[in-house]
Amino acid sequence: METVVSGIRSTGNLHLGNYFGAIRNFIKMQHEHRCFFFIADLHALTTHPKADQFRQSVRNVLVEYLAAGLDPEVSTLYIQSDVPEISELYLLMNMVAYVGELERCTSFKEKIRKHPDNINAGLLTYPVLMAADIIIHKATKVPVGKDQEQHLEMARNFANRFNHLYEKDVFPEPYAYNFGNQLVKVPGLDGSGKMGKSEGEGNAIFLADSPEVIRKKVMRAVTDSGPTEPGQTKPESISNLFQLMNLVSSADTIAFFEERWNACDIRYGDMKKQLAEDMILFTHPLRERIADIQKDDDLLNRVIRQGAEKARESASKTLHEVRTVIGLNR
Ligand code: TYM
């Protein structure tokens, strides 16, 4: 049995990228391993959300986790800020993280480019907090999408450096994990890049989107004027549509449109209609469960309370060990 940790920032609703990149893998693991899944609310503070909206986002993500099939009786499901041990470990790990390596981190450089007016220290040390999230439970497997690979490499570096500095094997090495071995990058609908909540409007399909919204978003997806030679390589926008189809459509449907592409008589309108219907079918049970769970305050409060208790039990053990190794326990 291994220890598994994964999390999602509470910056908005969950989309298909989150589902296929992280949640689906986690759900498959929860019955075989010691699993922790949390809502990274502290990480979401880098963008300075208003308190009411912030509280609501945390709740939404919790509802959607549960709707997606995370079982709080089997896994430990908690909110990051309910476990103060993580914040203390983050402070301690900041002592072994070098500013140079944090500045070189791709996600930090991207944030500087996108939000030059808000380059706060929380953004710079984001990977340290993420490492603390993982190593606080001594996790070895971390189900995440491809975009988190570098953060995992940094977490390994910090963990190893700590062990080396104090000459004790406190932390095992955590690795990004996917069931199919390859980490996943779910594309967005705007023709380039990944599906993400901070990308443009209409780029992401959210688990809670209504059928009408899904149809509208998919029909607006970027395409081109079509192939001109049989078997030609697909441009990114078209290959993205096929990748999305691979996630939600049947093998027959995919084969049909692949054939049409190869024969140069593909009708993108038909393909998008089919993709939208398959996405609607796929998200339908999730949408129904979201609506049910949303109303169940007792359940949500119980999950939050129990999750915090279980997570703190595990976290405090590690933190005690860390404090002893450092010489903080008198
Ligand atoms: P976040 O909130 O951006 O995304 C949550 C998870 O969803 C995955 N993901 C994707 N996977 C494939 N294709 C996509 N288009 C796509 N978009 C998002 C992400 O890879 C991630 O697994 N830093 C993390 C949150 C975090 C965390 C952690 C994760 C904080 N501490 C500890 C694991 C362990 C983040 O911002 O993910």
What is the tens place of the pLDDT at every residue in 243-285?
999 999 999 999 999 999 999 999 999 999 999 999 999 999 9
Q: Say yes or no to pLDDT of 181 above 80.
A: no
Q: Say yes or no to pLDDT of 80 above 80.
A: yes
Substitution candidate for ligand 1 out of 18, 171, 195 with most atoms within 8 A of CB: 18
Q: Say yes or no to pLDDT of 130 above 90.
A: yes
Higher local confidence (pLDDT), 76 or 330: 76
User: Which one from 138, 141, 194, 272 is the annotated catalytic residue?
Assistant: 194
Identify the architecture of domain 3-184+297-326 in CATH: 3-Layer(aba) Sandwich (3.40)
Q: Say yes or no to pLDDT of 294 above 90.
A: yes
Q: Say yes or no to pLDDT of 197 above 90.
A: no
User: Which one from 111, 141, 217, 272 is the annotated catalytic residue?
Assistant: 111
Quickly count: other Cβ atoms within 10 Å of residue 228's Cβ.
Answer: 7
Active site residue 194: yes
pLDDT more than 90, % of the chain: 86
pTM of the model: 0.94
CA 55, 60, 61, 66 torsion-angle sign:
positive
Using CA atoms, how far apart are residues 271 and 313, in angstroms rounded to an integer?
A: 50
Active site residue 111: yes
The full set of domain ranges for the chain reads: 3-184+297-326, 197-291
Fold topology of 197-291? Tyrosyl-Transfer RNA Synthetase (1.10.240)
Question: To the nearest whole number, what is the mean pLDDT of the chain?
Answer: 94
Residue in the block written with tokens 């594309």: 187
Q: Say yes or no to pLDDT of 140 above 90.
A: yes
Rounded to the nearest whole angstrom, what is the distance from the C-alpha of residue 65 to the centroid of ligand 1? 13
The pLDDT score that the predictor gives to residue 157 is 98
User: Which one from 146, 168, 197, 273 is the annotated catalytic residue?
Assistant: 197
The pLDDT score that the predictor gives to residue 163 is 98
The pLDDT score that the predictor gives to residue 192 is 73
SS3 264: coil
> pLDDT class for 28, splitting at 50, 70, 90?
confident
List the structure tokens of 175.
């690795």
Are 131 and 124 within 8 A, CB to CB?
no
Pocket around ligand 1 at a 6 A CB cut-off: 5-9, 17-18, 21-22, 40, 43, 130, 133-134, 142, 144-145, 147-148, 151, 184-186, 194-196
Rounded to the nearest whole angstrom, what is the distance from the C-alpha of residue 40 to the centroid of ligand 1? 10
